[in-house]
Chain A
């Protein structure tokens, strides 16, 4: 079952760009770094990746650093600061899919250095995808920055409640390991306050 208020779907690789600054940061390289192998890897990544998202819009209330989202509460001073002017929030998750994990594993096995490139491209792509969905849903609204479980004192444990509330297993294809790591690797969850 998927809760009635969850919006989900997918976008295509032509709907958004993998941001150059994100890529440069991940590769530990200059902003204008380019080479043949990198371009080849970007193509290979795009063949493997899918771009799925899910989100909900919920009312929130905050008292004494405890944020109440209706379906769960969480204590975090930093999150409370971000959301202090918000009465509602978007809760979102995005992922570039499991095929990317398989591709990276395979390339490592072959001792192929493009594994490192694809890994970096994946990180940059999922961040860019999160930006894209963020922009799309926040259009014409006044919103806060994105804030994710694991940032500052926002406990990673919140992933459990967050992912199950948006039925991420079915809608985006994300599951959580016992140690709270997301599969696929290149996945992002976040909360955005609506002011």
Chain B
């Protein structure tokens, strides 16, 4: 039989239509699982497949969409039966293929959901290991609404079989997956993973898919699949039906074929006559020319970032080198501090973030994975994974939700042999340093030679030149004043050859005073020589000025819009710092945090931290607390004031590191199974505003972890939160565990579903009906 990958290049190939739709016609009840019919009614499954083949479909999809070991103990049996049905059906049909169907698991992956990435890979792998030896022709991974789950399924397929892999995603009307990815992001991810065909299925009707197909055609170098629904379902006379009939469906799919879709078929609501209509209307349309796009692209879980004419800023702050605070955060496992660095750089205008967490005394691989996983829950910038250790890079590339920048490979054969296989397997754009075993050549010529060698070696791994960005290495001019010139010449010559370049800008000024100024000038010079990416500190005003000025001067910034808004923003930040009409007490009461910070700093020149706390902060908090109790102000105002006083406290704490504020501490957690933390976070903010040291253990915290914290911090005041009736038992369990350990621990509880009565019943010492009362109870515990 013909190879499917060869055939799709020669002629138009068709998928089948909806299977579930047909099963419901044949008596499958709503709520019943279609895959069970593989065993109960195999003859019907075979018959439906055959109807599709008779209508002109070439690829039939096995009835395994909903099969996985989470749902079915007998998943292997269901898969064998499904493939058996398909094989029976294809008997006697020329050019017919069986696609082994893989659908979503129905659970979100971490950090959004509770399923780990590796567990997801393994669940998909189990299916593939059963299917691969049973004579299927390809794997179709379909209806994926999450980029991360898509990646898990593709990796499972790549690691367990050599079959062709087709992938289709389901978008919503805004043109995004449910978890946020755009078509361009999916194309970057899937082309990086080297699948064989990609496209769209389910979602909505072909009448609304034209814009998406155009985007696929403009960005992708792979054949495009479209298996759409028969329109959107609507209610007619109390009954649901899809909006397009077979004739209309065929008409719209024909338009998609004209815009570049290669492989056509149907999904929910489509039946054999729909496929027949599609075949009739499109069989004479020539296959679209698929051009190789030659773009350098990286991606995050939401968007793709093309590295072309626009200068790209890669934030350098997630890196311990020379940063004592950052090193401490790594040693103390303080991931939040690292995440804050990421968020701040995103807000300052970085386009991507370098992530380096290498420190000799910590487990770099564990930390790297933790940081990458956490960052991709909250920050949508693409990441540049940065480590000297290939095994750390591999772990990070595996769990990265997108196509990363990989930092780095160099001209040394050992480095290339370690890094290129990773790029080949997981996808990525790699930063290639123009150095080798002999060091960094001191001429542009020497560095370019290394670059050419890297390109040749990469070819052996089928890594495209577009997936390599050269870093010709900025060296400090304080040791050799020619250094900058050599680097700039290399940038220019590489750029003239059409290669992409990146530089770590700040190295150039090492050992000099007024570094920011040199960095900014060097950056501008490099940009004029063709530099694409720069690893920089986006909080540097000089550097950002250089960036915005360059864009304004090279007509990238139309009407200088970005430059003006950047400049105005900078100015307005300066003016808030001089607005000092209010006292600190007033600023806290009014919730003006910028002013509270300025005022605190000012007051420190004339008063001790303790005086400031007693004369300004405590009176402000008393007043605002009283107003809240008397319902003169509301929760939002209370929170804003609490935020101000916390910021003020933070500044004062730095001035008196030994005696942390009031010396009172408290352990705070939302109990196991409960993922709600708004109540807990409000309490935390308020307690901190009163000077408590709060050990926040987060949400979904097992009793044992809380006990562990009591021991570690030697803190005997614990506050527990629960918002669901289903998690109240976990609260009770936690209290008993703590009581067994030490009867003198003081425990307060709170949360929407709790009552004073229940609190007593489960042996709590206090019940906080709201955040203010939690503070009062905590103070009472300490006054006993």
Contacts and interface: CB of A to CB of B under 8 A. Distances in A.
Interface stretch (B154-162, B283-291, B336-344, B611-619): B336-344
Interface stretch (A14-22, A76-84, A98-106, A127-135): A98-106
B178 A97 contact: yes
Interface centre among A70, A105, A112, A169 (most CB of B within 10 A): A169
A170 B239 CA distance: 20
A37 B594 CA distance: 14
Interface string B16-56: 00111100100001110010000000000000000000000
A3 B30 contact: yes
B636 A2 contact: no
A4 B143 CA distance: 16
Q: Which of B31, B238, B239 has most A Cβ within 10 Å? A: B31
Contacts of A101: 112
Nearest to A58: B30
Nearest to B63: A1
A62 B727 CA distance: 30
B173 A4 contact: no
Given A1-B65, A102-B378, A181-B724, A115 B179 contact: no
Contacts of B727: 179
A142 to B, nearest CB: 14
B377 interface: yes
B688 to A, nearest CB: 9
A163 to B, nearest CB: 9
Contact of A27 (B104, B634, B726): B634
A183 B112 contact: yes
A127 to B, nearest CB: 15
Contact of B143 (A150, A161, A170): A170
A4 B378 contact: no
A70 B30 contact: yes
Given A1-B18, A109-B343, A113-B643, A29 B634 contact: yes
B397 interface: no
Interface stretch (B227-235, B319-327, B429-437, B535-543): B227-235
A60 B31 CA distance: 14
B413 interface: no
A52 B172 contact: yes
Interface string A21-48: 0000001111001010110000000000
Contacts of B682: 116
Contacts of A119: 678
B635 A10 contact: no
Nearest to B241: A4
Contact of B180 (A37, A98, A111, A156): A98
Classify chain B's interface size.
35 or more
B202 interface: yes
B663 interface: no
Interface string B236-267: 00111000000000000000000000000000
A175 B678 contact: no
Nearest to B180: A99
Nearest to A72: B31
A17 B348 CA distance: 33
A110 B340 contact: yes
A156 B688 CA distance: 35
A180 B31 contact: no
A98 B179 contact: yes
Contacts of A161: 31
B678 A116 contact: yes
B31 A50 contact: no
A57 interface: yes
Contacts of A177: 113-114, 675
Interface string B636-648: 1001101100100
B114 A178 contact: yes
B30 A5 contact: yes
A27 B633 CA distance: 11
B636 A35 contact: yes
B199 to A, nearest CB: 17
A195 B179 CA distance: 38
B681 A116 contact: yes
A71 B685 CA distance: 46
A74 interface: no
Nearest to A119: B678
Given A109-B343, A177-B113, 16 more contacts: A1-B18, A1-B34, A1-B66, A5-B30, A5-B239, A28-B634, A35-B636, A50-B174, A97-B178, A106-B343, A108-B677, A111-B685, A116-B681, A181-B676, A181-B724, A185-B676
28 contacts: A1-B20, A1-B103, A2-B20, A4-B30, A4-B269, A7-B233, A7-B235, A10-B172, A33-B634, A38-B636, A52-B172, A56-B240, A71-B29, A98-B178, A98-B180, A102-B377, A105-B378, A109-B343, A110-B343, A111-B643, A116-B636, A156-B726, A173-B145, A173-B178, A175-B106, A175-B108, A178-B673, A179-B674
| Pairs A-B, 5 closest by C-beta atoms | A71-B31, A1-B20, A29-B634, A173-B178, A28-B635
